[in-house]
Structure 1
Amino acid sequence: MRILLFTGKGGVGKSTIAAGTATLSAASGQRTLVLSTDAAHSLADAFGAPAGAEPTEVAPGLFVQQVDAQLRFEQSWAEIQSYLLRVLDVAGVDPVAAEELAVIPGAEEVLALLELRAQALSGEWDVIIVDCAPTAETLRLLALPEALGWYMERIFPVERKIVKALGPMLSKAAKMPMPEDSVFGAIERLHAELDEVHGLLTGQDASVRIVLTPESVVLAEARRSYTMLSLFGYRVDGVVVNRIFPTEDADEWRARWVAAQTVILGQVSESFAGLPQWRSVYRTGEPVGVDALGELAREVYGDADPLEVPEGTGPFRITRSSDGAVVHLALPYVTRDEVGLARHGDELVVSVASYRRLLTLPPGLGRHQITGARVVGGELQVRFKEGAS
């Protein structure tokens, strides 16, 4: 099953491109679901058709779904919500306000990931296309499974033991209800399911496509997205440059835009060299509906297969030799001075800007020591040698 995520800065038209790609997929005979994790939920507007919390067919073989965070939270995490409501009641929060507060920040995006997992495991679909939230939210979301994994392995068991042993005493001292074991169980299920999502999205048949417009600020964010997606192990399979002004018959005002965009388009070509790049000309009207979206997508992709699976092993790999191994992690545009690197036991901690990834090293590297690290051609290379001091 092919999974394709679309992301980009808000307002670049990623929902339209995602919807158009899904339309082509369904037209080729693939049973296709396009799922929105964006709180703005623009897919229904793009298709000009109603869409809700369950998959809705908008064309033969083409289904749209927009996750209802409140509904999914009540269905999947009733234990957690019940505990939060009790805490808020003790704190004196109005019951109506408490119902709103009990949907945790970011719940919509998290539950959309869980819905993606459920749909992927259902066996109903040949292709799932995800219209992601704007870039920053998407990066935080995609970093969540590994971050939660670290918490679950290192901190969570200790907290659970403490609450089980000292719960009544703590509850009396804090005058707040302590979470029951069912709440911990719900958190464990959340972790296990998010871990499955991470496996799906970093697998061979999944990739991310970046949508941008030819503007310097948007390009800068797209470059950062490429770096951070690679940092967390997600494969970027191409970029779509949207809303390019046509060059013919340009008046003076538009000619200036054309000139400015031409410069940025050259920078896009250089920035994403080696990746497929598709372009979409600014249209005279907004593409709404299956027919208009399909026409747009055919113009964007031309003869290329919009669902082609990228080759290679992804951003992370390990090469081995007789005296050790090298861990390779793609970090486009990054210099050695911008990378923070540390080791804690079997974990390699890699930091770039405000993002940090904890890479769990394979068991075979546990007895190896780091002998050096460098950044070459947009790739971090960390050398390990057995028995080195």
Structure 2
Amino acid sequence: MTLPPTGPRILLFTGKGGVGKSTIASGTAALAAATGRRTLVLSTDSAHSLADAFGIEVGSEPTPVADNLFVQHIDAQARFERSWADIQSYLLSVLTVAGVDSVSAEELTILPGAEEIFALLELRERALEGAWDVVVVDCAPTAETLRLLAMPEALGWYMQRLFGLQRSLVASLRPVLTRATGMPLPGTAFFEALQRLHGELEEVRTLLSGPRASIRVVLTPERMVVAEARRAYTTLSLFGYRVDGVVANRVFPEVATGPRDSWRDGWVDAQRGVLADVEASFSGLSIWRAAYLPGEPAGVTALRSLATELYGADDPFAEPEAGPPLRITSSDRGAVLHLSLPLAGRRDVDLARTGDELVVTVGSYRRLLSLPASLSRHQVSAARLEQGELQVRFHEVSV
């Protein structure tokens, strides 16, 4: 498939487990449908909480739950057979020759995080079919989402540098290597399946880092949760994804009149301090607050009411105003690579140049940036972190 110039508005919701991201994602989808937008909400989270949120049975195809509103749970097995079967077949043949029993071999050839990855491939397919105005994605908890969104670029690095060489070597040395090792070597189907998987994941990355996609971080007013949300904001930006808002969920509303409750007042005071940190940490982003409700909202009406209250007069489906997290500017003095790294400190960031790649490390996450050809004869002359943006200056080397 070829990516269309325009597509649906894509909203991804992530956050620490248990903060209510499935509820917020479902409410946003219900609100989109109520405004006349044809809306699909699906989940990359193996917990599949959408059925509970809407109070209906949800199938592996888009299931209608209200006018313009469809819900889908991913059929991981069907996706597995379409995207991984040829690769698994070769891996099984290798393990069988190595003496691994069939049950263990089957388990060893399952791709780690397969369900989430195949959900992203399903997202790609749905976004490309042209049937939706809005696609809402209920993502897995933060750490899994970060690993997942980093995967397309990491696999792309391997494919670009090693795939062609390995394929050529295997083709030319197959008879010799097979006799010498006794192991079957990958055939054309294996390489084509791997290349197809890489291409589809790269299209996923193009979609999710494009101008019509953004991520919203859901949190509760607790210091540990906010600390994780801050790290997520920095890391998502590192990998080139736009974060356009933060949802503070389960906020105790302040009561101006009436009888006082010391227990409740204690929570209000504690949350007030944390919410002030949220406002300071995520300055420049939309920050929405959802009140702590006496019961968990379930069903289309309750979810839509929650989202209506949450977003107020804002348009939650407007395209993000922020530019791409990564850009390059040029002048007579050379070129500057700009990479948004909000909330990162100088001690958190490490920078290295390896050939035509810039290696940017933030905390425990690393991104390999392939530099464009226009910078191939340039050297790094300076780098600084200023107001949440890494600026790397290049100057041209005379030949």
Q: Shared fold (TM-score greater than 0.5)?
A: yes
Instruction: Assess, with a 3 A threshold, how the Cα gap between structure 1 residues 98 and 58 changes in structure 2: closer, same or farther.
Output: farther
- Superposed CA deviations along residues 162-187 of structure 1, whole A, max 9, x for unmatched, are 32233344344444332212101100
1:9 counterpart (4, 13, 16): 16
1:262 counterpart (272, 280, 291): 272
**What is the aligned partner in structure 2 of residue 375 from structure 1?**
385
Q: CA RMSD for the aligned pairs?
A: 1.7
SS class of match (2:394)? strand
Aligned residues: 389
Query: Any stretches of 5+ residues in structure 1 without a counterpart?
Result: none
SS class of match (2:25)? helix
Quote the offset at 1:203 in angstroms.
0.7
Quote the offset at 1:312 in angstroms.
3.1
Separation (CA, whole Å) in 1 of partners of 2:234 and 2:337:
17
Q: Is it true that 1:87 corresponds to 2:102 in the alignment? A: no
Separation (CA, whole Å) in 2 of partners of 1:86 and 1:203:
40
Quote the offset at 1:42 in angstroms.
0.7
**What is the aligned partner in structure 2 of residue 120 from structure 1?**
127
The answer (yes or no) to whether the contact 2:15–2:142 under 8 Å persists in 1 is: yes
The answer (yes or no) to whether the contact 1:32–1:61 under 8 Å persists in 2 is: yes
How do residues 26-41 of structure 1 correspond to structure 2 at under 5 angstroms? 26-41=33-48
How do residues 50-61 of structure 1 correspond to structure 2 at under 5 angstroms? 50-61=57-68
Quote the offset at 1:362 in angstroms.
2.3
Quote the offset at 1:130 in angstroms.
0.8
The answer (yes or no) to whether the contact 1:370–1:388 under 8 Å persists in 2 is: no
2:202 counterpart (160, 171, 195): 195
Instruction: Assess, with a 3 A threshold, how the Cα gap between structure 1 residues 63 and 341 changes in structure 2: closer, same or farther.
Output: same
SS class of match (2:61)? coil
Q: Which amino acid aligns with 1:128?
A: V
How do residues 131-170 of structure 1 correspond to structure 2 at under 5 angstroms? 131-170=138-177
The answer (yes or no) to whether the contact 2:83–2:197 under 8 Å persists in 1 is: no
- Superposed CA deviations along residues 287-337 of structure 1, whole A, max 9, x for unmatched, are 111111001111110111111111132211222211211111111121222
Deviates more, 1:216-225 or 1:93-102: 93-102
Quote the offset at 1:269 in angstroms.
0.5
SS class of match (2:136)? strand
How do residues 304-319 of structure 1 correspond to structure 2 at under 5 angstroms? 304-319=314-329
TM-score normalized with structure 2 length? 0.93
**What is the aligned partner in structure 2 of residue 354 from structure 1?**
364
Separation (CA, whole Å) in 2 of partners of 1:361 and 1:334:
22
TM-score normalized with structure 1 length? 0.95
Separation (CA, whole Å) in 1 of partners of 2:9 and 2:394:
35
The answer (yes or no) to whether the contact 1:327–1:383 under 8 Å persists in 2 is: yes
Q: Is it true that 1:228 corresponds to 2:238 in the alignment? A: no
Q: Is it true that 1:333 corresponds to 2:343 in the alignment? A: yes
Quote the offset at 1:271 in angstroms.
0.3
The answer (yes or no) to whether the contact 2:242–2:322 under 8 Å persists in 1 is: no
Separation (CA, whole Å) in 1 of partners of 2:221 and 2:32:
26
The answer (yes or no) to whether the contact 1:24–1:298 under 8 Å persists in 2 is: yes
1:109 counterpart (97, 116, 140): 116
Separation (CA, whole Å) in 2 of partners of 1:284 and 1:254:
13
Quote the offset at 1:94 in angstroms.
4.7
How do residues 276-287 of structure 1 correspond to structure 2 at under 5 angstroms? 276-287=286-297
2:376 counterpart (366, 379, 389): 366
Q: Is it true that 1:47 corresponds to 2:47 in the alignment? A: no
Query: Any stretches of 5+ residues in structure 2 without a counterpart?
Result: 1-7
Q: Which amino acid aligns with 1:107?
A: A
SS class of match (1:185)? helix
Q: Which amino acid aligns with 1:108?
A: E
**What is the aligned partner in structure 2 of residue 18 from structure 1?**
25
Separation (CA, whole Å) in 1 of partners of 2:249 and 2:294:
13
- Superposed CA deviations along residues 245-287 of structure 1, whole A, max 9, x for unmatched, are 2322552222222111111001000000111000001101111
Q: Is it true that 1:64 corresponds to 2:71 in the alignment? A: yes
Q: Is it true that 1:294 corresponds to 2:304 in the alignment? A: yes
- Superposed CA deviations along residues 80-139 of structure 1, whole A, max 9, x for unmatched, are 122233334345555455444433111111111111111111011111111111001100
SS class of match (1:155)? helix
Deviates more, 1:265-274 or 1:79-88: 79-88
Separation (CA, whole Å) in 1 of partners of 2:20 and 2:34:
21
**What is the aligned partner in structure 2 of residue 206 from structure 1?**
213
Separation (CA, whole Å) in 1 of partners of 2:28 and 2:40:
11
